[in-house]
């Protein structure tokens, strides 16, 4: 009488990937007569979660359908999930996705670059830009924000000696639509997690 035993490959052996189950049939009275039926257990693709290094291709448009930014023609964007490298709304939409997945999501201002704040618009005297030979609309400078932290301000208008600067992000107050394709997901290294960004190609270089 044959006996069926379910065996599993040794997962401590690096060569046993993916894990394999095998039914072994033998007849004790006549010695071992082994019959193997292998059932391969598929390895689930890695999903996007905190401390994963993620590569995405994307196109960003506004409500008018105008393309604001895109990775087309260039390298994918590589970021560390959960480290605030990308806007909150997009990061939330990518949780649980895996390589090959495509996502289309519209992100409201509060989970993108915030609502537009008139309090962040100020009029400064041209003399405050000492060392800058010629000021132009669109120029950006680092300035001290209301909370004491550094922020980027953009020259919005020039009126004689008055320079109107805007501390809002250029996309503040806008609903943003992302068309994203996940290219790759991997575990971030301890160093990447500690530094808060991905290293290497497409990431941060020290």
State yes or no: pLDDT of 1 exceeds 60: no
For the chain, the domains span: 3-40, 52-113+172-195, 118-166
Mean of the per-residue pLDDT values of the chain: 85
CB of 150 within 8 A of CB of 160?
A: no
Give the pLDDT score at 14: 46
State the average pLDDT over residues 49-75.
Answer: 97
pLDDT digits (tens, 9 = 90+) for 28-52: 555 555 555 555 556 778 999 999 9
Question: ∠ at Cα 191 (187, 193), nearest 5°?
Answer: 60
- Which bin fits 168, alpha (ψ -120 to 50), beta or left (φ > 0)? beta
pLDDT digits (tens, 9 = 90+) for 119-169: 999 999 999 998 898 999 999 998 877 677 788 999 999 999 999 999 999
Q: Kindly give the pairing relationship between strand 36-40 and strand 67-70.
A: unpaired
Is 118-166 in the same CATH topology as 52-113+172-195? no
CATH architecture of the domain with residue range 52-113+172-195: Roll (3.10)
pTM of the full predicted structure?
0.71
pLDDT digits (tens, 9 = 90+) for 97-124: 999 999 999 999 999 999 999 999 999 9
State yes or no: pLDDT of 183 exceeds 70: yes
How far is 144 from 163, CA to CA, in rounded Å? 16
CATH number of 118-166: 2.40.10.330
CB of 123 within 8 A of CB of 163?
A: yes
Q: Which residue has the higher pLDDT, 15 or 65?
A: 65
How far is 141 from 143, CA to CA, in rounded Å? 6
């Amino acid at each position: 009488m044959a006996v069926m035993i379910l065996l599993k490959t040794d997962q401590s052996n690096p060569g046993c990937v993916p894990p394999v189950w095998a039914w072994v049939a033998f007849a004790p009275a006549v010695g071992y007569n082994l019959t193997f039926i292998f059932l391969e257990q598929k390895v689930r693709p890695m999903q996007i979660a905190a401390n994963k290094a993620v590569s995405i291709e994307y196109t960003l448009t506004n409500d008018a359908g105008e393309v604001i930014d895109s990775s087309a023609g260039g390298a994918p964007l590589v970021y560390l999930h959960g480290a605030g490298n990308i806007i909150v709304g997009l990061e939330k939409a990518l949780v649980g996705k895996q390589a090959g997945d495509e996502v289309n999501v519209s992100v409201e201002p509060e989970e993108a670059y915030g609502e537009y704040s008139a309090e962040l618009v100020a009029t400064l005297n041209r003399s405050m830009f000492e060392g800058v030979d010629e000021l132009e609309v669109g120029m950006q400078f680092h300035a001290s924000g209301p909370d004491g932290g550094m922020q980027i301000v953009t020259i919005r208008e020039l009126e004689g000696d008055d320079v109107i600067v805007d501390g809002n992000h250029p996309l503040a107050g806008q609903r943003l639509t992302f068309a994203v394709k996940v290219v790759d997901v991997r575990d971030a290294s301890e160093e990447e997690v500690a530094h808060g960004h991905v290293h290497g190609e497409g990431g941060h270089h020290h």
